Structure 1
Amino acid sequence: MEHLSLKLSDLPDEILVLILKKLHNIEVLYSLIGVNQRLNTIANDSIFASYLPLFVFLDDFTSPLPDSILNRFCSYILLEVHHKIKWLDLESTSMERILLATNYPYLCGLGLYGFDLEKALSLFTNGSSFSSINKSEISSLDYQRLSFGMPPPICFSSSLLELHVRVNIFSDCLYLLDGRFSQLHTLDIHIVFIFPNDLTINTEKLPKLKCFSLRCDMRTHYYSSLILPLLRRMFNLQKLYLQLEIDSYKEFIDGNDLKENIINYMSQLNNFTFNIRVIKHSPNLMNLASNEYIQHTFKDFKYNQISSCIGYYQERGYSYCHIYSYPYRMHYYFNITNNFPGGLFQCVRKVSLYDEQPFEYEFFLQIAQSFPFMKDLSIINDKPQRNKLSRKSKKINNQDLSIIIKYPYLNY
C-alpha cells in the first residue's frame, strides 16, 4: 500500500468533471486552460465554458476581476473558448476590454452589472463600438442597474427576446416598453421604487410579451393607478410573477381581486405565481376579512397552491394580508406573527418575527420546522411568554416541550 499513489490526472474524465463542477466556471478555466491537452479539452466543455461571470460580486456590489486573472482571460483564455461562450456576466469597468478581446460567434445573452441604462442599451445601437458582438444573435440581456436618473431617449430596433433588468423608478420600466424591443417575449423587472414621476401612462398593447416578472421590495401606494394598467397591456401573457408590498390599498387583495383585475385580462395565462403583502392602516380593526375568507377566495384557483396569512396590530392601528404561491420561492420571510400558517420553506435563509402577542414555545418549534435552513433570525416582541413555567408538563405530538429547540444553520 505504501507504494500506491493516486494523482488527479489518473482519474477518468467523468470523475474529473464531477469534481470540477463543484467549482466556479472561471476557476476551472483559469486553472486548467494551458496545462495540457487533456485538461484543455475538459475545460473547453460547454459545462464550464458556455456561461462565464467575469466579475466579483460581494455584498450587492460588483468589482472587476483581479488584474492578473483579468489579464490572462483577455489575452489567452477567452481566445481559447470563445466559440463555446453563450452567456457573459460583466461589470462596467472591465466590460469593454472583455468584449473586445475576441469575437463571440454564439453569444446569445449578456448580464450587465453596475451599469447606467444608457450604456447598457447602447450595446444594441448601430453605432456601438463593440464590433465583436454579433448583436443580431443576442436574445437575452440581464441588466442590473445601480445608478440613478433617467437616460436620454435612444432610437434603435432590437431582436432582443429576453430582458432581465433592475431599474430605480417606474418610469424606467415604461421607458423599456415604449416599442424599442419589438420582439421581446420575456421581461423580468426588479424596481426599487414604484411611484408616479410626471409620466404619461402608455396604453399601447404588448402582444409579443409572453412572460413577465415584476418585483419591488419597497411599499407602494400605486397598485391600482400604475401596476394594474401596465399588466393589462400584456393581454397575451402566459406566465406572470408578482412580488409586491402594497400600502393603504382599499381592501386586502384576495383571489377575487386577482381574477377581476388581472386574470380576466389575460386569456392565455397558464402560470401565475405571486408574493403580495397589503398593509391597511385603520384605527378600527373590526369587521375585517378573516384568513379563512381570504383562503376561500382561492378555492378555484387553477394555477398552484396558495397560502394566506392575516395579522392585526391593534396597538399600532394597522392590519396586513400576505398571500403567496406555494412552494415559496423567496430567500426571506419577514414579519411573521402568531397567525403564521406553517409549511416548509427550504429556500428561506432570513426570517423576522413580529407580534403584539407573546411568542410561545410551540411557535418557536414551528419556526424551526418550517425554516430548516434559516441563517438569520430577528425578533420584535416585548410580551413575556404566558406558559413558560408550565411548559415542561405539556407535550405536543408526543414531544417533550422541555427539549431545547435547535436551529442548526443560524448565524445571527
Structure 2
Amino acid sequence: MEYSCIGLNELPNEILMIILKKLNNIDVHYSLQGFNQRLNQIIQDRIFTSRLTFVKWFSHNFIDLISCDTILNRFCSQILPEIGHKIQWLDLESSSMKYILCAAHYPNLFGLGLYNISEESARYLFTDEILSSGIFKNQITTLFTTIHNNNNNDDYDEMLLSTRNIFDYIFIFFTNLIDLTFYESSYKNRLPLYFADPPSHTFRSSTLLKLNVRIQSFDDCLYLLDGRFNQLHTLYVDLTSIHRPNHIQNQGNLPNLKCFSLSCKKETYHYAELIPSLLYRMPNLEELEEKRGRCHIYSYPSFMPYYGDITNNFPGGLFNYVRVVSLCDEYPFEHEFFLRIVQSFPFMEELTVINRKGQNDKQSYKSNNDSRISSVIKYSFLNELDLLNVHDDYIEEFLFDTKTYFQNNVLLRIKCESLQRVTHNFTRDITRMNCTKINELELSGEPICSDSLQEYFSYARISYPLII
C-alpha cells in the first residue's frame, strides 16, 4: 500500500479527489490517514468525513466491514478521534457499534444507522453509562435501524416482546428523535409488533415527525396512528397483509399527517372496507385530491422493497430500496428494456419475468460468422431468477454470456423442456458459463434423466419442487 500512496501523492488534487470519491470512505481513511500532511488534509474534506458507513449489504443481510480487530482498533484509537468532530452520520453493525460510538467525541453527529441489532445488543448499547449520559440522547434526530431476529426462534410471543422492547429502548434513549426508519434486516420479512393494553408510556414520542416501517398487519398500522406519535407528518408503512382489524381505540383525525404511503405485499379484499375510512382521518394529506386516494407511484421516492407487474410502458427512475421485481407484458421485452430495469433497480435481488412473446429485435451474439456482440447487462445483486412463464428468447437473454452477467449463487426456476431446448440438451457453449453460476436449479415438468444435466450445472443443487 505504501507504493500506492506514493503514486497517489504525485497526482494533482483534482485528479486525486476524483479517484478517492470512487472508494469507500472507510478504505480511504484506513489506507491514507497518517501517510503525510497533504493526504491527511485531502481526506479530511467533508466529502470523506461527513458520513462513514461501516456496513455492507451482502446475501440477505448486512455485514460489518471492520470485523477484523486490527482494523477496528486503528479506527477507534487513531482515526475516529482525529475526525470525530467532522462526522455527521455513522452506519454501524451491532458487533462493533458500541466501540465506535465510545471511541471519539462526535459533537456534530445527528444521524445513526444501527444494523442487525437484537434486544440484547440494544440493551447493551442503550444502557451504557457513557452513551446514556452523553450528548447522544439529545443530538441524534435521525435513526435508521434494522432488527435481526433469530430464524431458529419459534417462540412468536417472545419475538413480539423482543421487537417491542427495542422500540421502547429507542424512544427512551433518543429523546429528540425526528425521523425513524425501522426494518427487519432481511427485506423479505416484516416486523411483528406488540401493543400493550393499556398503551405503553414509553412506546410513544412527541418529537417524531417521520416514520418508515415494515410491519406485519393492518392492526399494527392503526396502532401507530392511535395518538402515540401526535406530531407525525410523514408515514411510510409496508405491510404483509391487510385484514379486518381488532377494535382499536383513538381513531380520531390526524390533522398533522401530510404524507402517507401504504403498501402491501399480498393482495387484499378489504380495500373498500378499510382504506377509505383511514384516509378520511387525514384531512390535510397533500398526496390526495377530493378526499380520494389516488395512485401516485412516481410522486415520492419508493421505500417499498418490491415492484410488481412492470410493463414496457415503465418510465424509468431510480429505486434504490427495491429488491424484488416482476415483469409482465403481452408485448415483447427487448434487450434495451432489461438494461433500463437494471439501471432503475440497481440492488435488485429477485426477478420474475412473464412474457410469451418472442423478441422482435433479438440481439446477436458472438459467433464465427457474425462479429456483432450485444451489450452485456450486469446484474450485480441478483440471486433469484424465475423464468417459468417465458418465451425461449428470454431464457437466452439471461443464459447467454454475451447478453447477461451475474454473480455466482443464483437460484433459477425454469421448465425442463425449455431449458433443454435453449441449452441444446446441455451442450451449448454460449449458455455454459452462466449455468455454472447457478447454485440452485428448481425445475418444472418431466424429470430429466441425464448425467449431462448435473455436469452442465456443475455447482447446482437440482430439485423438482415445481412438478405439475
The two structures share one fold, judged by TM-score above 0.5: yes
2:187 aligned partner = none
Once residues 71 and 36 of structure 2 are traced to their aligned partners in structure 1, the CA distance between those partners, rounded to angstroms, is 19
Kept in 2: contact 1:186–1:209 (CA 8 A) = yes
Query: Mapping of 1:157-168 within 5 angstroms?
Result: 157=205, 159-168=207-216
Whichever residue aligns with residue 330 of structure 2, its letter is: N
Identity rate, percent = 38
1:51 and 2:51 matched: yes
1:262 and 2:293 matched: yes
2:13 aligned partner = 13
Size of the aligned set, in residue pairs, is 325
- Greater strand proportion: 1
1:336 aligned partner = 328
Which one of the candidate residues 388, 411, 430 is aligned to 1:380?
388
3-state SS of paired residue (1:141): strand
Residue 181 of structure 1: how far off its partner (Å):
4.0
Once residues 298 and 75 of structure 2 are traced to their aligned partners in structure 1, the CA distance between those partners, rounded to angstroms, is 43
Whichever residue aligns with residue 81 of structure 1, its letter is: I
Once residues 268 and 123 of structure 2 are traced to their aligned partners in structure 1, the CA distance between those partners, rounded to angstroms, is 27
2:450 aligned partner = none
1:395 aligned partner = none
Kept in 1: contact 2:52–2:91 (CA 8 A) = yes
Residue 197 of structure 1: how far off its partner (Å):
6.8
3-state SS of paired residue (1:204): coil
CA gap 1:120/1:237 in 2 versus in 1, 3 angstroms: farther
Once residues 360 and 96 of structure 2 are traced to their aligned partners in structure 1, the CA distance between those partners, rounded to angstroms, is 53
Using the size of structure 2 for normalisation, the TM-score is 0.55
Residue 219 of structure 1: how far off its partner (Å):
4.4
Whichever residue aligns with residue 253 of structure 2, its letter is: K
1:149 aligned partner = 160
CA gap 1:54/1:273 in 2 versus in 1, 3 angstroms: closer
2:360 aligned partner = 362
Once residues 352 and 156 of structure 1 are traced to their aligned partners in structure 2, the CA distance between those partners, rounded to angstroms, is 40
Kept in 2: contact 1:90–1:111 (CA 8 A) = yes
Residue 205 of structure 1: how far off its partner (Å):
3.4
Q: Which runs of 5+ in 2 are unaligned?
A: 1-5, 150-158, 166-199, 364-373, 394-399, 408-433, 435-468
Q: Deviations over 1:287-337 (max 9, x none)?
A: xxxxxxxxxxxxxxxxxxxx878xxxxxxxxxxxxx977547346531524
3-state SS of paired residue (2:387): strand
Once residues 103 and 88 of structure 2 are traced to their aligned partners in structure 1, the CA distance between those partners, rounded to angstroms, is 15
Once residues 178 and 135 of structure 1 are traced to their aligned partners in structure 2, the CA distance between those partners, rounded to angstroms, is 25
Out of 225-234 and 46-55, give the one that drifted further. 225-234
Q: Deviations over 1:364-393 (max 9, x none)?
A: 66xxx99965565531138789xxxxxxxx
Residue 50 of structure 1: how far off its partner (Å):
1.0
Residue 201 of structure 1: how far off its partner (Å):
6.8
Whichever residue aligns with residue 403 of structure 2, its letter is: Y
Query: Mapping of 1:9-408 within 5 angstroms?
Result: 9-64=9-64, 65-66=66-67, 67-116=69-118, 129-147=131-149, 148-150=159-161, 151=164, 153=200, 154-155=202-203, 157=205, 159-195=207-243, 198=246, 200=248, 202-225=250-273, 227-238=275-286, 261-263=292-294, 271=299, 327=317, 329=319, 330=322, 332-339=324-331, 344-345=340-341, 346-348=343-345, 351-354=351-354, 358-362=356-360, 377-381=385-389, 407-408=403-404
3-state SS of paired residue (1:30): helix
3-state SS of paired residue (1:381): strand
Kept in 2: contact 1:332–1:351 (CA 8 A) = yes
3-state SS of paired residue (1:57): strand
Out of 33-42 and 170-179, give the one that drifted further. 170-179
CA gap 1:47/1:199 in 2 versus in 1, 3 angstroms: farther
3-state SS of paired residue (2:360): helix
1:255 aligned partner = none
Kept in 2: contact 1:55–1:91 (CA 8 A) = yes
Residue 114 of structure 1: how far off its partner (Å):
1.8
CA gap 1:270/1:262 in 2 versus in 1, 3 angstroms: same
CA gap 1:192/1:158 in 2 versus in 1, 3 angstroms: same
CA gap 1:105/1:14 in 2 versus in 1, 3 angstroms: same
Residue 406 of structure 1: how far off its partner (Å):
5.4
Once residues 325 and 199 of structure 1 are traced to their aligned partners in structure 2, the CA distance between those partners, rounded to angstroms, is 42
Once residues 262 and 121 of structure 1 are traced to their aligned partners in structure 2, the CA distance between those partners, rounded to angstroms, is 41
CA gap 1:333/1:30 in 2 versus in 1, 3 angstroms: same
Residue 57 of structure 1: how far off its partner (Å):
3.1
3-state SS of paired residue (1:132): coil
Residue 145 of structure 1: how far off its partner (Å):
2.9
Kept in 2: contact 1:110–1:142 (CA 8 A) = yes
Once residues 135 and 203 of structure 2 are traced to their aligned partners in structure 1, the CA distance between those partners, rounded to angstroms, is 19
Kindly report the root-mean-square deviation, in angstroms, between the aligned alpha carbons of the 2 structures: 4.7
Residue 208 of structure 1: how far off its partner (Å):
3.3
Once residues 218 and 107 of structure 2 are traced to their aligned partners in structure 1, the CA distance between those partners, rounded to angstroms, is 35
Whichever residue aligns with residue 344 of structure 2, its letter is: C
Whichever residue aligns with residue 20 of structure 2, its letter is: L
Q: Which runs of 5+ in 1 are unaligned?
A: 1-5, 241-257, 280-306, 310-322, 386-403
3-state SS of paired residue (1:271): coil
Out of 140-149 and 79-88, give the one that drifted further. 140-149
3-state SS of paired residue (2:109): coil
Once residues 122 and 230 of structure 2 are traced to their aligned partners in structure 1, the CA distance between those partners, rounded to angstroms, is 17
Residue 18 of structure 1: how far off its partner (Å):
1.2
Residue 113 of structure 1: how far off its partner (Å):
1.8
CA gap 1:101/1:60 in 2 versus in 1, 3 angstroms: same
CA gap 1:30/1:130 in 2 versus in 1, 3 angstroms: farther
Residue 42 of structure 1: how far off its partner (Å):
1.9
Kept in 2: contact 1:185–1:208 (CA 8 A) = yes
Out of 56-65 and 213-222, give the one that drifted further. 213-222
Once residues 8 and 62 of structure 2 are traced to their aligned partners in structure 1, the CA distance between those partners, rounded to angstroms, is 34
Once residues 353 and 30 of structure 2 are traced to their aligned partners in structure 1, the CA distance between those partners, rounded to angstroms, is 44
3-state SS of paired residue (1:82): helix
Kept in 1: contact 2:307–2:325 (CA 8 A) = no
